[in-house]
Chains A and B, each alone.
Chain A
Amino acid sequence: MEQQTSTRLDSTFLALADPTRRAILARLALGDASVAELAAPFAMSQPAISKHLKVLERAGLISVGQDAQRRPRRIDGRPLAEASAWLERYRAVWEANFERLDALLRELQRPQARSKRGRKLKQG
């Protein structure tokens, strides 16, 4: 993987590692919000929230909107999509294995499978 992509993924996963930051992202997924609006549901001061916002901003997960007074934060889905694709491919390899395991377990749980095949052979 390219170094640049790897570094960007690092900062995405670091940003996502904190429950408060995930909650902030979940809130922003519903629409833009100012720092005060974001701080309201948390038992946290605005400076504490601002620290979390800095981490999210550095990871490119959020940006600051046009309004100079409100400075609304908005979510940027691209790094999230990239991180998701990275894991999704790894997941797909496992899922392919597990689907074969599903079929094997079904086969092992058919007690008559072998005798039926025997009967068929005799008939044929």
Chain B
Amino acid sequence: MHNVVMKESDMPMAIEKAQVILPSEREVKVTRSFKAPKTLVYRAYTEPQLVRRWLLGPPGWSMPVCEMDVRVGGAYRWRWRSDTDAKEFGFFGTFREVVPASRLVHSEAYDPGTVGGGYPEQDAGEGAIVTVSFTEEAGYTTVTSLIDFGSKEARDAAVATGMTDGMEQSYQLLDELLKNTAA
């Protein structure tokens, strides 16, 4: 519990498992280190043909749409499709700051697609503001994503969606386990 929610001060230099903290009631901060130079990690975050190979969420989803015009004012659009029922949802927004290999700031609005859902108060505005920073030390690049959802309600709803995904993932694993046990 403690290392998930609040222990930020004594973080090790390389964070080998994703760390999620709630710095304020509107924000979520996700931190993770990668054994690669920051120029390369930045490419994996900004080149669509690389992004679509890892930004997939739970198993069973593919990313048929990944368009990114990475420059200030440029737009991006991400869309995922479920392998099982072909339902889709996505995110879209524009880049507000682009500092190669160092910092990205973009808006992030939810596109309910055929999945539905979303946060009513978000529809009026631009959704969340995401600040991604890349720092390199001793062969590791640490990526910090600070997601400001604009309100506590939007943040809690977004985390709850992640919760649903995680549960679905667990159910799928359970299904597989049961199948294997039966066989």
Of chain B, the residue at the smallest CB distance from A1 is B160
Q: Chain A at the B interface: mostly helix, strand, loop or mixed? A: helix
17 residue pairs A–B, Cβ–Cβ below 8 Å:
A9-B156, A16-B5, A16-B6, A87-B4, A89-B166, A90-B162, A95-B17, A95-B18, A98-B34, A100-B53, A102-B34, A104-B44, A104-B50, A105-B34, A105-B35, A108-B36, A108-B50
Residues of chain A touching chain B, judged by Cβ–Cβ distance below 8 Å, are 1, 6, 9-10, 13, 16-17, 22, 80-81, 83-84, 86-98, 100-106, 108-109
Assembly CA distance A15 to B18 (angstroms): 24
Which of chain B's residues have a CB closer than 8 A to the CB of A87? 4-5, 20, 22, 159
Indicate which residue in A89, A102, A109 contacts B162 across the interface (CB closer than 8 Å). A89
Which of chain B's residues have a CB closer than 8 A to the CB of A6? 156, 160
Q: How many residues of chain B get a CB closer than 8 Å to chain A's CBs?
A: 37
Of chain B, the residue at the smallest CB distance from A101 is B54
Nearest first, the 5 closest Cβ-Cβ pairs linking A and B are: A89-B166, A90-B162, A100-B54, A84-B1, A105-B36
Q: Are the C-beta atoms of A96 and B59 separated by less than 8 Å?
A: yes
Q: Are the C-beta atoms of A94 and B50 separated by less than 8 Å?
A: no
Which of chain B's residues have a CB closer than 8 A to the CB of A102? 34-35
Assembly CA distance A95 to B57 (angstroms): 9
Indicate which residue in A10, A17, A91, A104 contacts B18 across the interface (CB closer than 8 Å). A91
